Every structure is written in structure tokens, then in C-alpha cells.
Amino acid sequence: MSLFEPLQQRGLRLRNRIVVSPMCEYSATDGLPNHWHLVHLGSRAVGGVGLVITEATAVSAEGRISHGDTGIWNDAQVAAWQPITAFIRSQGAHVGVQLAHAGRKASAQLPWQGGGPLGKDESPWPTVAPSARPFDEGWHVPAELDEAGIEAVIEAFRIAAGRAAAAGFELVEIHAAHGYLLHQFLSPLSNHRTDRWGGDLEGRTRLLREVVRAVREVWPETLPVWVRLSATDWTDGGWDDTMSVELSRMLKALGVDLVDVSSGGNVPHAKIPAGPGYQVPFASRIRHEAGIATGAVGMIIDSAQADAVIREGAADVVLLARELLRDPYFPRRAASELGVTIQAPVQYKRAW
């Protein structure tokens, strides 16, 4: 395998192993993507990536992180996504949506407005979680989801997946990382329940497994489903990579095609030893021990490093975030540096 070798997943063939990692832009209104999202996501498709995945896109209004999040809980949002997905596909890239519910981290300010919980004069909304424990001191105390509330969350993901297909998306990624609702259920640090949705690994993973089942029931069999996990909470007593391996085995059996391996986000003051490729070993362990395709993400910043991740069998794709913000045309630069020829848009061929 190499960075520019195509990847086949079900009926989807990625032209290379470079993926736009989901990155919140906090620039939507009422969940509607707009011209910013068209240009931001579309330019990465022009730049030559194999797959573009949208930012965390809320399955319900109360599941948004902030007022600026994109959504896919109504038909107007489906219509707003359609020209964006069509343009991405027209450039030879495939397009996926990350379906998300923020749980106790919802009702937050935009990052450039502080990033904390919304104040009373900022139109906050009630938040929910597996247990009535706030994310941090000063954050909203979430309501503990009851059985009906949990079933409503599952149904919201199911309906959102159906809308995603109508919007022109070709891949669904279920967001179960970074301290959002599904991760909150996974981790003993945020899930203190004693019913069937908590307790042991079987109980704490139940909601994610039920969401995967619901999505797979409505999502086309010919198209992939991915799940993003935080492999570890980086905190004693929390979710860890051994649990992630076991969960990944369960997800594979449910029809998940790839685990997108990140880390952290569930507790506010975890000490994370960030550095180039610091999460790659988690992706490698899950890939080899759970026998499922993985994606590596986290400070992958140059072509040789990205290519090595694939060649060494640590992951099947690399997901780039900040590097693609710095350079939307990273794949074209990487191809040149690695001695690979890739097609340019006909409008740009005079520069090659």
C-alpha cells in the first residue's frame, strides 16, 4: 500500500488515501451550510484528496455544539448540502458526512467568542448526557437521558442517515469521539449509569452499537459506514485503547468499514502528549488486533510521514486537518514530492 494507491470500500473507490478530516467551521445559520462550506470543502476536492468529510453535522437541533454548527435534521438542510456534495463529486473526490450529537458539550459559544457554555443572553438550549455531570466547572448541568430520550437519539441518527443519502453523501461517519454524546456513553468518566446503558463495556457501548445498527438499516449496503473513536481519554480510569480494540471488533461485526482513530476530548484537563503522528500507534493497534481498516489522524504534516503511515500498515487512510487548512492542495504537493503523477483539473493544467 502507498499514499496514492486507490482504496476500495464496498462500492466506493477512493483515488488515494488522503482524507479531509472533519473540521468544524462554526459558520452555519440554523444548521444550513452556505457558500463558505462550498468553497472550503470544494477547494480541498479540487486539491486532489480522495475523500472529503464534512464537519460534525448535528442530527438534531439540540445536538449542535454551537449556533454555528451544520445540521441535517430537516429538508432545508438536505437541499443546502446538495450543491456542495455535487461539486465535490464533480472534482473526482468522494464526499462523506460526519453525523454527531454533542451531548453535554452542546450549547457552547463559537471558539472565537470564548468556546465556553452559552450564557443566559446567548440563547442557550438544554443539554443531555448519560449522567447529570457537566463537562467542566461552570458548564451546563445536562439532563440524564431516560429510555425514551435514548431511543429518540437513536432515531435521530437513523433519520439523519436517510437524509444524508438524499443530500448526495456517499459515506457516513458516526462521531463517537472527542467527548461528544456517544463518547460520553462509552467512557466510565462520564457514564455513571447502572442500567443497561451503563456499567460494563457491554452496557457502555450499547448506544453506539444501536446507532450503528440504525444507520446501517437505512444506509445503502453498497456504501461505507465509518466510526470515529477517541482511542483513549488520556486519564486514569477512563476509556482506553484496549477497550477501543474490543469495541472495534464489535463494530466490524455490525458492518462498520473503518474506524477513524483520534483521542481525548472527554475530560477538560487531560495531559495529552501531542506530537507528530502521536495517535498513529492507536490506529495501528486497532487495525491489527481488531482486523478492521483504520484511519490515522493527528499532526500528520508532510508527504513522507503520511506515505509511511500507509506503507508500514499502521492505517488504511490518513486524515489531515490543520495541514489541509494551511494548504488545500497538499495532495498535489505530496504527489510531486513522492514522484507520483496525478491528474489536475483541466482548468489548471497549464501550471503542470
Render each residue's pLDDT in the chain as its tens digit; 352 residues: 999 999 999 999 999 999 999 999 999 999 999 999 999 999 999 999 999 999 999 999 999 999 999 999 999 999 999 999 999 999 999 999 999 999 999 999 999 999 999 999 999 999 999 999 999 999 999 999 999 999 999 999 999 999 999 999 999 999 999 999 999 999 999 999 999 999 999 999 999 999 999 999 999 999 999 999 999 999 999 999 999 999 999 999 999 999 999 999 999 999 999 999 999 999 999 999 999 999 999 999 999 999 999 999 999 999 999 999 999 999 999 999 999 999 888 898 888 7
Which residues have a catalytic role annotated?
Answer: 180
Secondary structure letter of residue 48 according to DSSP:
T
7-344: CATH superfamily: Aldolase class I (3.20.20.70)
Break the chain into its structural domains and give their ranges. 7-344
Contacts of 254 (CB under 8 A, 6+ apart): 209, 212, 213, 216
Q: How much is the pLDDT for 234?
A: 98
Interatomic CA distance for residues 32 and 72, integer angstroms: 8
Stated as kind and residue range, the H or E segment containing 77 is helix 75-90
* Extended beta strands in the chain, E state: 7-9, 12-14, 18-20, 51-58, 94-100, 128-129, 143-144, 171-176, 225-230, 258-262, 293-297, 317-320
Q: What cell numbers appear for 183 in the block?
A: 463518547
Contacts of 49 (CB under 8 A, 6+ apart): 16, 18, 19, 20, 93, 324, 330, 331
Q: What cell numbers appear for 139 in the block?
A: 458548564
Q: How much is the pLDDT for 352?
A: 73
Q: How much is the pLDDT for 343?
A: 86
User: CA angle, corner 36, sides to 32 and 41, nearest 5?
Assistant: 95
**DSSP calls for 236-278:** TTS--HHHHHHHHHHHHHTT--EEEEE---SSTT------TTT
Q: What cell numbers appear for 92 in the block?
A: 473526482
Q: How much is the pLDDT for 90?
A: 98
Q: How much is the pLDDT for 277?
A: 95
Strands 18-20 and 317-320: parallel
Interatomic CA distance for residues 115 and 103, integer angstroms: 15
Could you give the C-alpha distances from 311 to 130, 145, 289, 307, in angstroms and in order? 40, 44, 18, 6
Matching residue, cell 488486533: 289
Contacts of 336 (CB under 8 A, 6+ apart): none
On the CB side of 3, CA atoms within 13 Å amount to 30
Stated as kind and residue range, the H or E segment containing 308 is helix 303-311
